[in-house]
Structure 1
Amino acid sequence: MIVCQTIEALRLERAKIVGAVGFVPTMGYLHEGHLELVRRAAAENDAVVVSIFVNPTQFGPNEDFSAYPRDLERDLAMLSAFPELIVFTPSAEAMYPQDFQTYVQVERLSQGLEGERRPGHFRGVATVVAKLFNIVQPQRAYFGQKDAQQLAVIRQMVRDLAFPIAIVGVPTVRAADGLALSSRNSYLTPEERAAAPVLYRALCAARARYEAGERDAEALRATMRAVLEAEPLAQVDYVSVAEAETLRECEGTLSGAVLLSMAVRIGRARLIDNLTLGTDRHFC
């Protein structure tokens, strides 16, 4: 495993690679979901680059940038199982040097859901991912389907800006009780952790109604909301039933692929999760 702390060092290592490069961008504090991305990238490419960078521009002024868990030594130990890996750990000063002025904004797909509640979040995501793509020059990049809107935004950016990169969405990795793995799960107390699978239960309840023939969008939203509101520790930010491809909120009778998604605060942790209905293709 090679660790590169600067853009220049990463580019020197990148120049030595013959064949396809898979790229896994992360903010660190890795878990099994991240490792699944790395395994997928390793299986499909000749070399793999993993970045670890807590990106300040995707956090709002009252969000958890300072508190976001960081443990580079732990992360590198987890990645040591992949001996051929290149790990890129740039500083904020390298990624956003003095007088940095250029940002990437994916307009419509950034506006609803997470984008509505976290203004500027997807501008920060798109900007840092575009810069990382330019530095790493991968053939494929791997993102978890848990962050459905992020995946849609990155795919749109790649199409619009003609990046020669295939974006691969990898299914959400869950704990045995259904909780989607997330670095922010580390914020949960034992009591809160026991409550957190309510997100997946709410999604599954709506999926069961859909599979039983329910096609009214508001009925599915109400189903999810009812399950969440029965959990005293859950504070619902939003529940959504949206078109899977456009992320436009659905009204009335559903047709085509549908994305069920939600954001719920449990204690200090703001958790998100989603499922896709009505298609074999993975949008979430």
Structure 2
Amino acid sequence: MLVFNKKVDLQTHLKQNCSNNSTIGFVPTMGALHKGHLSLLKKSLENNTITVISIFVNPTQFNNPEDLKKYPRTLENDVEKIKTISKEILVYAPSVEDIYEGKTKSQHYNFDGLENQMEGKFRPGHFDGVGTVVKKLFEIVNPTNAYFGEKDFQQLQIVKKLVEKEKLAVTIIGCPIYREANGLAMSSRNERLTEEQKDKASIIYKTMNEAKKLFGTKSAKEVSEFVTKAFKNNTMFELEYFEIADEATLLTCKRKNKNKKYRAFIAVFVNKIRLIDTISLN
């Protein structure tokens, strides 16, 4: 298994091993890999000649320094997990210097308002950081296809918009959410939860499923009130937001339109650990 810490070495290897017919599949991650990440790698392996995964905790997308400091970094363990899928996968695990070359700051982007909803409201500058690092990674790897999990659905839409606006030659592929046995969406942050917290966090998926059922007969406002009440009665969890939004624009649903696709989004704190989830409502 090849692990590259410098972009120049990765690019040299790709240049030497890519033919005109080669396709490169790319899975950008921040590490602390779980089965959800591995499912993205499997998808890439099925559809591409070469698969590259990046493992990089990107400082510019964290508006909370404490969150950045505590974010799990488990490179050796990650590499072992990747090996269980394929030893042919190329790993790019750069330093901040290799990515940002001494200028660790975000470029400002206009994502046509997608960046101002949900996560954007509560994490100022977050999507500028995401856009900046994803563009840099795409320029380094030059992938044919890039794979992103739908748990971060807003991020997925932002990346698609980035590709459209910057006219980048890469196809973005969204992949289904992987869940724990109790329904909790798999996330690198789950590693920071105690067993009790992880067990009780099943309330998030259960509540989202209940919201989906209610959305068939109730208004978006009534569904939101139900979710707010469900978390108000649970002292372990603090609801940051619950939003029902148009899948395409991410604008809040004020009134249901049968011709639109809607999705519910949620962010919850468990002892300062932030968990997000999403579910299609159609």
1:198 Cα deviation from its structure 2 partner? 1.1
Task: Give 1:281's aligned residue.
Answer: none
Task: Give 2:14's aligned residue.
Answer: 14
1:13 Cα deviation from its structure 2 partner? 1.4
Q: Does the aligned pair in 1 maintain the 2:60–2:106 contact within 8 Å? A: no
Aligned-partner SS, 2:280: strand
Task: Give 1:194's aligned residue.
Answer: 199
Task: Give 2:133's aligned residue.
Answer: 128
1:197 Cα deviation from its structure 2 partner? 1.2
CA RMSD of superposed structures (Å): 1.4
Deviates more, 1:132-141 or 1:250-259: 250-259
Task: Give 2:98's aligned residue.
Answer: 94
Deviates more, 1:10-19 or 1:20-29: 10-19
Distance 1:171 1:76, change over 3 A: same
CA distance in 1, matches of 2:120, 2:77: 31
Deviations along 1:233-266, one digit per CA (max 9) or x if unpaired, are 1101000011111000111334310010110001
More helix per residue = 2
- Asked if residue 103 in structure 1 is aligned to residue 100 in structure 2, the reply is no
Task: Give 1:268's aligned residue.
Answer: 272
Deviates more, 1:46-55 or 1:220-229: 220-229
Deviates more, 1:121-130 or 1:218-227: 218-227
Taking structure 2 as the reference length, the TM-score comes to: 0.94
Q: Does the aligned pair in 2 maintain the 1:201–1:227 contact within 8 Å? A: no
1:209 Cα deviation from its structure 2 partner? 1.3
Q: Does the aligned pair in 1 maintain the 2:60–2:105 contact within 8 Å? A: no
Task: Give 1:183's aligned residue.
Answer: 188
Aligned-partner SS, 1:173: coil
Q: What is the identity, as a one-letter code, of the residue corresponding to 1:222? A: E
Q: Does the aligned pair in 2 maintain the 1:242–1:259 contact within 8 Å? A: yes
Deviates more, 1:182-191 or 1:222-231: 222-231
Distance 1:137 1:206, change over 3 A: same
Q: What is the identity, as a one-letter code, of the residue corresponding to 1:52? A: I
Task: Give 1:2's aligned residue.
Answer: 2
Given the alignment, which residue of 35, 43, 47 partners 2:46?
Answer: 43
Q: Does the aligned pair in 2 maintain the 1:32–1:181 contact within 8 Å? A: yes
User: How many corresponding residue pairs?
Assistant: 276
- Asked if residue 207 in structure 1 is aligned to residue 212 in structure 2, the reply is yes
Moved over 3 A (4+): 99-102
Taking structure 1 as the reference length, the TM-score comes to: 0.93
The within-5 A match list for 1:220-259 is 220-255=223-258, 256-259=260-263
1:36 Cα deviation from its structure 2 partner? 0.5
Structure 1 residue runs without a partner (length 5+): 279-284
Q: Does the aligned pair in 1 maintain the 2:96–2:104 contact within 8 Å? A: no
Structure 2 residue runs without a partner (length 5+): none
Give identity over the alignment, percent: 37
CA distance in 1, matches of 2:108, 2:163: 11
